[in-house]
Amino acid sequence: MDKIPYKIYLTEKELPDTWFNVRAAMKELPESFINPKTLKPCMADDLRPVFCEELIAQELNVTDRHITIPGEIMDFYKMYRPSPLVRAYNLEKELDTPAKIYYKFEGNNTSGSHKLNSAAAQVYYAKKQGLTHLTTETGAGQWGTALAMASAFFGLDLTVFMVKVSAQQKPHRKALIQTYGGKVIASPSDTTEVGRKILAENPHTGGSLGCAISEAVEVALKNDKCRYVLGSVLNHVVLHQSIIGMETKTALEKYDIKPDIIIGCAGGGSNLGGLISPFIADKIEGKNNIEFIAVEPASCPSLTRGKYAYDFGDTGKMTPLMKMYTLGSGFMPSPNHSGGLRYHGMSPVVSKLYHDGYMTARSVEQTKVFEAAKIFARTEGTLPAPESSHAIRAAIDEAIKCRETGESKNIVFGCTGTGYFDMTAYTAYNEGTMADYIPTDEDLQKGFASLPNVN
């Protein structure tokens, strides 16, 4: 066997041309979505005013394991895919570990994250349906950027409601979205009814994701050529992100590498769900015994301390109810939290797999996350996103365990993106002003109190 290269690339011929629908492989499916008004399971008709046709079909598809990626999306993917699977030789050396560490790097595109994988698909299907306009919200800005890139490519108009404080704190994100032709509106704004109402009550508010979602949904509902799109959590987003897992599996098989541990950071669960999808299917069939680890912030611990319950997907309580691990849609992480992954819930697929014991989860404090980020940046050369650094932290911890036990496990983790727009957080860490915050049980109780009473 040849020495494993620093970067394992796939040739264009080896690129997977299907997404992997993990629900078709699950023994028990996640619970159906529920319409909060009727309290009945959601059907395609309930979703149609907000989402595109093909995405609804994918959302509800629990039977087809492989779903063909349309040629136009493949053409878009080829601009930045395959992403490399990197053998972290330098990190291994630094840690003096017998473990072999690999990471799948999704930061090699201008949006700086894996979010482009789903943005491309969602915009393509919207275009195919004859829509002309999309709306969304963005907090940190990666999703807004990815969607602006895809909208520019396929020729759709895009309006991004960006949480006002983020728009002020991250002017370069805003400029990037605008460069690709996206319209950025600081939320709350006077362009929607809900925005005007919020501003009347609280003129100086810095805004919130919930409010931005409400504005974006209002615009979509008022225009039948317009739909709202989401960058995580939903089944079809996890499906599109399975391109990460499909490529990783092909690359590992090329060198006959059998992973012992696969690690991903978990915000809404889309990169993690996508990375593990094809491997989980094999695990369910008894073909591997991989340990899957979800890593989340200690300040927003939905899997490790949340409840498995029906909840709204958004703070504005406009989405269908989903059964998932959640801290309650009213939960807000502490203001000093800067590592991203601040979503209150978790993808229903990832939640179900975790609930049924196919994977484990752990939470890490943000100073530990940035410590890992710096070790990675110095040894592997890439400045990781704070979100990705949650997975890096767990990979380093597992590699250190191997040093202690002498085991040479194969550790694979998802490195979801780069951190160039997160320098305020890096500065706080470098200057020693970053603090950790772990919510108390009473803090969490307040979020749980916002859970709807549905079983």
Ligand X SMILES: *Cc1c(COP(=O)(O)O)cnc(C)c1O
The residue ranges that bind ligand X (CB under 6 A) are 113, 115, 142, 232, 265-271, 341, 385, 387-388, 416-417
- Residue 91: name the closest of 368, 396, 390 by CA: 396
* Cβ proximity to ligand X, 99 vs 234, nearer residue: 234
Closest separation between CB of residue 271 and ligand X, Å? 3
CB 390 → ligand X: shortest distance, Å?
Answer: 8
Query: How many C-beta atoms surround the C-beta of residue 201 within 10 A?
Result: 9
Name which of 87 and 240 has its Cβ closer to ligand X. 240
104/115 with CB nearer ligand X: 115
Q: What is the 3-state secondary structure (H, E, C) of the chain?
A: CCCCCCEECCCHHHCCCEEECHHHHCCCCCCCCECCCCCCECCHHHHCCCCCHHHHHHHHCCCCCEEECCHHHHHHHCCCCCCCEEECHHHHHHHCCCCEEEEEECCCCCCCECCHHHHHHHHHHHHHCCCCEEEEEECCCHHHHHHHHHHHHHCCEEEEEEEHHHHHHCHHHHHHHHHCCCEEEEECCCCCHHHHHHHHHCCCCCCCHHHHHHHHHHHHHCCCCEEECCCCCCHHHHHHHHHHHHHHHHHHHHCCCCCCEEEEECCCCHHHHHHHHHHHHHHHCCCCCCEEEEEEECCCCHHHHCEEEEEECCCCCCCCEEEEEECCCCCCCCCCCCCCCCCCCCCHHHHHHHHCCCCEEEEECHHHHHHHHHHHHHHHCCCECHHHHHHHHHHHHHHHHHHHHCCCCEEEEEECEECHHHHHHHHHHHCCCCCCCCCCHHHHHHHHCCCCCCC
Residue closer to ligand X, measured from CB, 195 or 274: 274
Shortest spacing between CB 386 and ligand X, in angstroms:
8
Q: Which is nearer to ligand X, 131 or 421 (CB)?
A: 421
Contact by Cβ (8 Å): 441, 407: no
Distance, in Å, from the CA atom of 406 to the CA atom of 401, rounded to the nearest integer, reads 8
In the complex with ligand X, the residue whose CB is nearer, 116 or 198, is: 116
Nearest residue (CB) to ligand X, 143 versus 153: 143
Closer residue to ligand X, CB minimum distance, 115 or 249: 115
| Shortest reach from residue 11's CB to ligand X, in Å | 27
Question: Of 117 and 192, which CB lies nearer to ligand X in the complex structure?
Answer: 117
CB of 93 to ligand X, least distance (A): 26
Least distance in Å: CB of 111 to ligand X? Answer: 8
Least spacing, CB of residue 351 vs ligand X, in Å:
12
Using the minimum distance from each CB to ligand X, give the nearer residue, 374 or 403: 374
CB of 274 to ligand X, least distance (A): 8
